[in-house]
């Protein structure tokens, strides 16, 4: 077989043949675990051959024969890797997990072969050194600078023993991060709280009873039984509504201790090993800590900027939490609940206070938020802002019956891309919510259209009813999806969400704001039985309660962000006991025990399932500063769908990818640098 940069059509492996499905979708029905190892080996060999052609080209390096050719290389490898990584997250199996464990260090070795190719880097570096004399177009210069930095940060300047050791560290990190993810999923799947009889269902509204019945069926308990898994879409409502304090405690403890049990899925030694390897990686690259390494390529730039931002929220939130605690304690006493309150009481009591203070019962809201209506709402917002139309496509061969597909069109009916939605929790699906792609946008070969997917973990029911937090999650991931769909750049390395980590959350968090627009709620929030619109009075109460319990939300998020930064700021060579470190940081920070942490280190996938959010959980608040300020531009225009502001937003943020520095992109949109005040006001932490 002779590999080329697209396909191996003479192979018996269906993953290596031309993908002829509609829209260029992967051949999902043939994407069996047994095909991936051979497909990866062939694809890696094909990409290495392509890179060798670039690296050994006798002609002097030019942008066209080096950078542009590099950006177009590896198409076979990219499509197989994207297919595999998406299935590993969304529709895994024991066989696929075995392949994942086997391939993780081999894929890392392949990445090393790319970035540690000395001849290839020499050509890139030669162009980089003379970049100011090349008269490159702005996007071409941006590609050169970003690719050069990619290689440097991946060890391209290392030599000798350091080069070899760096490659070994990266390979072991890949294996350890894979183990961490699989351990979390194993712990989540090993727990199921069966609700035996009416006493265990006490306090649960009808929508939650229906969801727990579906969960029991999915986990093999049979029909007519009820159970709660650790999926947030089930666990969080249960903690909110169940009157059974003992069951709330059991569920809360199970969620908090994922990955922290003796045995095969114990993530404490895994996380400790990851930290040791990251410190060694940072040392080899000349950084004093892993945080220094990561922040060198972020908007924040250094730990001081991160800690300054988090501190502006942490201390005011602790002060507000004291006020809230007094209110919740009084509510507990009025309900004959034990005091002092505990972490498994906070959601439950807060819901009762919310109902009393704002005359707002979340269980009364939920019937108005069906999944289908909220999908229609987010599509409508995208249409009004950016002129997009979403046309559902039926009959496509996708990887699971839950997945739906929409063709995304412009106003002139030209094709933008394909959008997939996989919205339900399953035992073989990672928890949480995320956006990914099966194909990136680019301008290569006449242009490639993106295939974007959003994953959520809503509790499946008939109909599926969402909490308003679920609605915001749906809009959040769709904001990421739009960032991928609307990308209009030439070079794939700069396309879509390939931006700095503390900038990538701007388009997603910004889009959440439209879920709270009154006219959006009036149009799309409709009762699943009567089809009546959400009453104006309920909308008023929902909007009035926006800042309720924000101290708890801020602390439960900011605590893990501060612990993440402290952990990754440890000097290289510092041994870490994960559990002891977390406990000590909680003591130093004064984390309120009745608030707790949104994530504990033993299951903190943002940090340990890969490098993307390591020393980076702060990015959500950093991006919140950007999005709160950005959304005020629409307020200043007097219209949440102002056409001029939306056009500027599209041009400077949603379609620009990584074609310019993010700080400059924000200034181009807003006319100035971001201000922190709007974020603090939004959270109710800045009194005005």
Would you tell me the crossing angle of helices 578-589 and 550-568 to the nearest 10 degrees?
A: 130
Neighbours of 301 (CB within 10 A): 12
CA–CA dist 422, 234 (Å, integer):
17
CA–CA dist 596, 257 (Å, integer):
12
The three-state secondary structure class of 465 is: strand
H helices of 11-136, in order, are 33-55, 69-72, 75-90, 94-115, 118-129
Which residue is catalytic, options 81, 188, 477, 512? 477
Residues paired with residue 393 on neighbouring β-strands, in sequence order:
405
Q: Is 477 noted as a catalytic residue in this protein?
A: yes
3-state secondary structure 208-266: HHHHHHHHHHHCCCCCCCEEECCCHHHHHHHHHHCCCHHHHHHHHHHHHCCCCCCCCCC
Tokens 């794939």, located at residue: 492
Would you state the structure tokens that stand for residue 79, as one six-digit string?
């499509």
Residues paired with residue 568 on neighbouring β-strands, in sequence order:
none
CB 24 within 8 A of CB 90: no
Phi-psi region of 295 (alpha: psi -120 to 50; beta: other; left: phi over 0): alpha
CA–CA dist 44, 509 (Å, integer):
36
Q: What is the number of helices (H) and of strands (E) in the chain?
A: 27, 7
Element (H, E) at 180: helix 160-190
How large is the C-alpha radius of gyration of the chain?
25
CA–CA dist 31, 455 (Å, integer):
19
CA–CA dist 31, 14 (Å, integer):
8
The three-state secondary structure class of 81 is: helix
Per DSSP, 534 falls in state P
- φ, ψ of residue 614 to 5 degrees: the values are -65, 135
CA–CA dist 490, 518 (Å, integer):
38
CA–CA dist 563, 557 (Å, integer):
10
Q: Among positive and negative, which fits the CA dihedral 454, 457, 458, 462? A: positive
Q: Which residues are known to be catalytic?
A: 477
């Amino acid at each position: 077989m002779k590999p080329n940069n697209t396909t191996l059509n003479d192979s018996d492996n269906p993953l290596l043949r031309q993908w002829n499905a509609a829209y260029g979708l992967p051949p999902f029905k043939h994407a069996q675990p047994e095909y991936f190892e051979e497909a990866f080996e062939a694809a890696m060999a094909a990409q290495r051959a392509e890179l060798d052609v670039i690296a050994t080209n006798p002609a002097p390096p030019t942008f066209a024969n080096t950078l542009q050719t590099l950006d177009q290389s590896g198409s076979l490898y990219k499509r197989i890797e994207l297919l595999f990584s998406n299935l590993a997250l969304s529709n895994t199996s024991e066989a696929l997990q075995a392949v994942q464990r086997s391939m993780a260090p081999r894929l890392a070795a392949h990445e090393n072969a790319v970035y540690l190719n000395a001849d290839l880097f020499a050509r890139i570096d030669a162009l980089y050194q003379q970049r100011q004399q090349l008269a490159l177009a702005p996007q071409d210069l941006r590609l050169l600078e970003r690719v050069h930095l990619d290689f440097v940060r991946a060890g391209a300047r290392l030599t000798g023993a350091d080069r070899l050791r760096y490659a070994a560290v990266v390979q072991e990190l890949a294996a350890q991060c894979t183990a961490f993810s699989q351990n979390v999923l194993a712990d989540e799947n090993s727990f199921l709280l069966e609700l035996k009889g009416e006493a265990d269902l006490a306090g649960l509204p009808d929508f939650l009873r229906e969801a727990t019945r579906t969960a029991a069926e999915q986990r093999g308990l049979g029909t007519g039984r009820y159970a709660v898994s650790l999926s947030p879409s089930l666990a969080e409502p249960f903690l909110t509504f169940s009157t059974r304090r003992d069951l709330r405690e059991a569920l809360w403890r199970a969620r908090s201790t994922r990955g922290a049990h003796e045995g095969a899925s114990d993530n404490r030694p895994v996380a400790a090993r990851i930290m040791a390897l990251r410190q060694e990686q940072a040392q080899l690259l000349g950084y004093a800590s892993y945080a220094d390494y990561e922040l060198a390529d972020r908007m924040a730039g250094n730990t001081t900027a991160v800690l300054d931002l988090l501190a502006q929220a942490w201390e005011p939130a602790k002060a507000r939490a004291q006020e809230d605690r007094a209110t919740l304690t009084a509510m507990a006493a009025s309900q004959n609940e034990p005091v002092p309150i505990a972490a498994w009481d906070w959601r439950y009591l807060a819901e009762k206070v919310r109902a009393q203070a704002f005359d707002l019962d979340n269980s009364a809201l939920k019937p108005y938020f069906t999944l289908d209506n909220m999908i229609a709402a987010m599509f409508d917002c995208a249409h009004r802002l950016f002129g997009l139309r979403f046309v559902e496509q039926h009959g496509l061969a996708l990887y699971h019956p839950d997945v739906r597909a929409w063709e995304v069109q412009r106003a002139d009916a030209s094709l933008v891309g394909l959008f997939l939605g996989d919205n339900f929790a399953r035992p073989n699906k990672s928890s949480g919510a995320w956006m990914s792609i099966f194909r990136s946008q680019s301008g290569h070969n006449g242009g490639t259209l993106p295939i974007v997917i959003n994953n959520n973990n809503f509790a499946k029911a008939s109909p599926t009813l969402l909490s308003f937090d679920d609605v915001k999650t749906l809009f959040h991931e769709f904001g990421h999806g739009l960032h991928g769909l609307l990308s209009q750049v030439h070079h794939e390395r700069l396309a879509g969400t390939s931006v700095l980590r503390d900038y990538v959350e701007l388009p997603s968090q910004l889009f959440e704001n439209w879920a709270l627009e009154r006219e959006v709620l009036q149009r799309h929030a409709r009762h699943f039985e009567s089809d009546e619109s959400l009453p104006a009075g309920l909308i008023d109460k929902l909007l009035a309660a926006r800042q309720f319990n924000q101290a708890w939300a801020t602390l439960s998020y900011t605590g893990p962000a501060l612990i993440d930064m402290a952990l990754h700021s440890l000097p290289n060579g510092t041994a870490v006991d994960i559990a002891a470190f977390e406990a000590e940081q909680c003591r130093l920070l004064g984390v309120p025990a009745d608030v707790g942490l949104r994530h504990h280190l033993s299951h903190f996938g943002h940090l340990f399932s890969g490098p993307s959010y390591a020393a980076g959980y702060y990015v959500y608040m950093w991006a919140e500063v950007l999005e709160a300020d950005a959304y005020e531009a629409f307020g200043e225009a007097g219209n949440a769908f102002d056409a001029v502001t939306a056009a500027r937003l599209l041009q400077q943020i949603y379609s620009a990818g990584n074609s310019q520095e993010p700080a400059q992109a924000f200034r181009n949109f807003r006319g100035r640098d971001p201000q922190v005040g709007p974020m603090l006001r939004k959270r109710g932490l800045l009194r005005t």
